[in-house]
């Protein structure tokens, strides 16, 4: 369990003060995969680096497994860090050492027996599926392979926690997928707590159970991934979610004035979000049958978040205003999220 309490960090730079962390508090449960998303400069990298105190917070506390890291002596902190693995965007492997030597490095430092090291390294190589590359140098590996070596090295001390600082940002989508799958497996196999910092919402979608959204050094929204994806509350979260659902274009399109002018009288555009339990029911047919409305579907998509579906549907509804309102309140009763797209857009979402 990682507990961050009221963390503050300000960098004094030539262009002025940068508040990288402003009163950030988070709790990361043991064995979970926790994501932190934000644009660059949001403070998420600073946040993850405070967990193993690579970055010392100006104030606040970092508590890992009941131990307050900010109070530890440097020797004790070194010991503690051995129980927290970390991987990076640019892998940070030792260029002058082979894959084997890289993975063995933290073990050699601890003066473990040669036999013991050999067994551990072989086992880790197998775990990350790189047994045939032990004699290769990092420069001979692809990005994905380098990250696998980095993961193996980070796991050499059998840590309970793995910190991933933009670990997939330098990789292509396919390799990203395979690394994320590996992380998910490790989480299950080793009950590893994984903290992931990223700017890619797809990473959150694919493996994170819980997510915190950061903006300007603050956590602006957090919750389980499924609710964040289906009901984003903050503007920035909505933007991130749209990058995954690919509906950012359609919202923009529907809000264009000249397109709206082409609507016939009584046309209203809505964005309907169906969550797991009600995604299978024929709501559109009900709208037509029960309320006698004209419904045209403009755009639809289904994404799986935490292995549960979220359906997005963009429709234009035509009919009597009173009936439309009735229909909408019916849908809302049924736990379908109804967001008006035209005019007010999302503003009247809470009703």
Partner 1 sequence: MKEYITEFLNRFFPNIVELQRYLFTSIKETLIMIVITGAIGLTLGLIVGVVLVTTGKDGLYENLKFHNVLEKIVNIVRSIPFVILIALLVTFTRFLVGTSIGVKGAIVPMVIGIIPLGSRLTEQALSEMDKGVMEAAKAMGISKTYIIFHVLIPESLPGLIRALVTCFISLIGLTAMAGSVGGGGVGSFAIRYGYNRYMTDVTIVCVLFLLILVSIVQGIGNRAVNKLTH
Residues interacting with partner 1, by CB under 8 A?
52, 54, 77-86, 88, 90, 92-97, 105-106, 109, 137-140, 150, 153-154, 157, 163
**For partner 1, which is the closer residue by CB, 88 or 240?**
88
**For partner 1, which is the closer residue by CB, 81 or 268?**
81
CA gap 87, 93 in Å, rounded: 10
**For partner 1, which is the closer residue by CB, 84 or 328?**
84
Nearest distance from C-beta of residue 124 to partner 1, angstroms: 14
CA gap 106, 156 in Å, rounded: 7
**For partner 1, which is the closer residue by CB, 150 or 273?**
150
CA 329: distance to chain centroid? Answer: 32
Tokens 């992380």 correspond to 183
**For partner 1, which is the closer residue by CB, 88 or 100?**
88
Nearest distance from C-beta of residue 63 to partner 1, angstroms: 18
**For partner 1, which is the closer residue by CB, 154 or 269?**
154
Nearest distance from C-beta of residue 71 to partner 1, angstroms: 17
Phi and psi at 121, nearest 5°, equal -65, -45
Do the beta carbons of residue 279 and residue 336 sit within 8 Å? no
Nearest distance from C-beta of residue 90 to partner 1, angstroms: 6
CA gap 317, 90 in Å, rounded: 50
With vertex at residue 107, the alpha carbon angle to CA 123 and CA 146, rounded to the nearest 5 degrees, is 60
Residues, the chain: 351
The closest of 249, 245, 214, 213 to 228, measured between CA atoms, is: 213
Helix (H, G, I), strand (E, B) or coil at 161: strand
Nearest distance from C-beta of residue 157 to partner 1, angstroms: 7
Nearest distance from C-beta of residue 262 to partner 1, angstroms: 54
């Amino acid at each position: 369990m990682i507990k961050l309490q009221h963390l503050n960090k300000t960098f004094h730079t030539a262009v002025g003060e940068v508040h990288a962390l402003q009163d950030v508090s988070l709790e990361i449960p043991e064995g979970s995969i926790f994501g932190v998303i934000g644009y660059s400069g949001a403070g998420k990298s600073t946040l993850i680096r405070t967990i193993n105190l690579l970055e010392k917070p100006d104030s606040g506390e970092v508590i890992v497994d009941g131990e307050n890291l900010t109070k530890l002596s440097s020797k004790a902190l070194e010991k503690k860090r051995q129980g927290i693995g970390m991987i990076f965007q640019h892998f940070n492997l030792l260029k002058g050492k082979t894959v084997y030597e890289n993975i063995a490095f933290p073990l050699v430092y601890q003066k473990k027996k040669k036999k013991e090291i050999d067994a551990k390294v072989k086992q880790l190589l197998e775990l990350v599926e790189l047994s045939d590359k032990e004699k290769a140098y990092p420069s001979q590996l692809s990005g994905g392979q380098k990250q696998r070596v980095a993961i193996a090295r980070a796991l050499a001390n059998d840590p309970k926690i793995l910190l991933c600082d933009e670990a997939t940002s330098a990789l292509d989508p396919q390799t990203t997928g395979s690394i994320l799958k590996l992380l998910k497996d490790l989480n299950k196999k080793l009950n590893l707590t994984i903290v992931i910092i990223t700017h890619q919402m797809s990473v959150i979608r694919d493996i994170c159970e819980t997510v915190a959204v950061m903006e300007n050094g603050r956590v602006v929204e957090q919750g389980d991934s499924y609710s964040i994806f289906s009901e984003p509350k903050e503007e920035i979260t909505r933007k991130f979610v749209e990058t995954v659902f690919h509906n950012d274009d359609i919202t923009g399109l529907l809000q264009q004035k000249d397109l709206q002018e082409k609507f016939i009288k009584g046309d209203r555009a809505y964005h309907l979000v169906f969550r797991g339990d009600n995604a299978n029911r024929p709501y559109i047919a009900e709208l037509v049958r029960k309320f006698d409305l004209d419904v045209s579907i403009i755009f639809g998509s289904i994404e799986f978040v935490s292995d549960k579906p979220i359906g997005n549907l963009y429709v234009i509804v035509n009919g009597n205003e009173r009936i439309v309102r009735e229909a909408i309140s019916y849908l809302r009763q049924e736990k379908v999220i109804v967001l008006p797209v035209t005019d007010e857009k999302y503003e009247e979402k809470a009703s």
